[in-house]
Amino acid sequence: MNSPSDVIRLEYHANFEYDYAAGKYASTFMAALRDTAMLLGTRCTNCSRVLVPPRPICGICAAPTSDWLQVGPRGTVTGCTVVEVPFIDPMTGVQRPVPYGFAFIKLSGADTNIYHFLEESRPDKVRVGMTVEAVFRETRTGSLADIVHFRTVEGVS
Amino acid sequence: MGRRTAIVAVGQTDFVSRRLDVSMPEMIREAVDRCLTSKGLDLHAVDAIVVGNMELFEGVNHPELVWVDAIGAAGRPLFKINTGGTVGASVAIMCYYLVSSGMYERVLGIGYEKQSEGESQSAITTVGDPVWERSVMAGAIGNFAVMASTYVHESKVTPEQAAKVAVKARTNACLNPHAHLKMPDITVERVVNSRVLALPLRQLDMCPTSDGACAVLVAAEDDAQRLTPKPAWIAATATAHDQQFMGDSPRRLADMRTLQTVAASVYGQAGITNPVRDLDVAEIYEPATYAELAMYENLGFCAKGQGGVLMDKGVTLLEGELPVNPSGGVLSTNAVGATALVRVAEAAMQVMGEAGEHQIPGARTALATGYGGNAWTEGLILKGDRP
């Protein structure tokens, strides 16, 4: 058929709310983070890697984990950027202020990495290999957001 | 192995940033009609349908029900695939499984997206684990930038080498009537001076967001050759996953083990020992310039750390020894649910001799890959010669 002269558009706005159970492993981790500002991982019984986030099974070995170990709060940056493109934070529904540092961080004692924010937001001051340290909130609720960000540790490569 | 199976017809819409002139089902039907009518067929020729997209991008749950007429599924067996960025390649592989196994004779595979209709940057964060990952995500661009930084740190690839990928893609796109970003005037200098998104990624290093759809028809044995004189025979398929959390595989670009696994599998199945020599063309899922260079290494097109050098040598240019993404690739056209199926369709068009102005002369063997969340990777080898 021929195209109509008017292009009609329909707007739709939704605000879906979810309520997730964190589960046994995350609850143990989040409670330790909230109560003692301590970060924990679990060790694979086969390959001995220390996995963060902690979990019951090592995905590579399909083997159970056993010990809980403390990791961090220092870590090494294994990948990093400074995000300058505006982006709506799905947790808050508002645009996260730019620029902000964003990195993969391998916590000391861990064999995997976590994503988190960097205090540093100057592109020439973030680099792979730098040492960083978690900055914890005064009032913690039991979430990865209890870490404000990771600050650069000066004088350590 | 099952029956010898081939792609016999492909259809694409033109990809643009916003298709305001058509609804989603109207856009999908455009690709379906183009696919079937290219071989003088209609939906009566189809036994079953496989369909996929990124549902949260447009916010329609159960899209296969809502758009059932558009995809031709009323009264037919329908399979919905939902594998993120790889979905189009998964659709193609599912069509292959269904036909090669003998369960169905002719299966239509469809991938589509209208990224203009939703907020895909935010929607994509919902692929993250809700407990562990969502509070610390930075969308597809921040994620890719961190991955690329590790690759750059290890390989010493330069912004200029990455920019050459962008120039190749948007120049090739000028020869593809369906491509979205066509930039005849693009230069390395323009790319390395484009707006910073998240270093090392600049605006022209990243794929666009597009609206569009793609469809392929898959058939077997003599039926395939009755439908078209030069089918694209599916010589190999493979799929591989990585671990649960993004940080479990931090070197995802520098050391893409899923892509290495897929490459080893499809090369083995198709008898490929030297991919640059044995492949005539590749259509790979490169969401960013740096990703394409890393993929060269992990697909075995060059040694580790040599992706930038391969680009400098021009091996992957349209006139090079192994042209990569003559269509313009993902860097030129990216309607996510269609993107990986476009790779397969373009690879098929090459071995069918139907690629028009971006046809690689005499192409007989083509590689197509899909790439998506947490490094999920898929690959297919298509051949012009019946196995």
Q: What are A24-64's pLDDT values in tens digits?
A: 999 999 999 999 999 999 999 999 999 999 999 999 899 99
User: Cβ A117–B136 below 8 Å, yes or no?
Assistant: yes
Read off the pLDDT band of B250 (50, 70, 90).
low
User: Cβ B121–A88 below 8 Å, yes or no?
Assistant: yes
Mean pLDDT of chain B: 94
pLDDT at A94: 76
Chosen from A29, A115, A118 to mutate, greatest number of chain B CBs within 10 A:
A115
Q: Strand pairing of B211-220 and B107-114?
A: antiparallel
Q: Is the pLDDT of residue B43 over 80?
A: yes
Q: What are A106-153's pLDDT values in tens digits?
A: 999 999 999 999 999 999 999 999 999 999 999 999 999 899 999 999
pLDDT at A154: 84
Minimal-distance CA residue of chain B relative to A61: B243
Measured between beta carbons, which residues in chain A are less than 8 angstroms from residue B119?
A: 88
Minimal-distance CA residue of chain B relative to A59: B243
Please tell me which of the candidates B136, B148, B200 has its beta carbon nearest to residue A116: B136
A88 touches chain B (CB under 8 A): yes
Q: Which of B22-36, B131-145, B369-383 has the highest mean pLDDT?
A: B22-36
Read off the pLDDT band of A85 (50, 70, 90).
confident
Question: CA of B257, closest CA in chain A: separation in Å?
Answer: 12
Q: Is the pLDDT of residue B54 over 70?
A: yes
Q: Is the pLDDT of residue B128 over 90?
A: no
Say how far apart CA B251 and CA A104 lie, in whole Å: 10
| Closest CA relative to residue B220, chosen from B96, B345, B382, B89 | B96
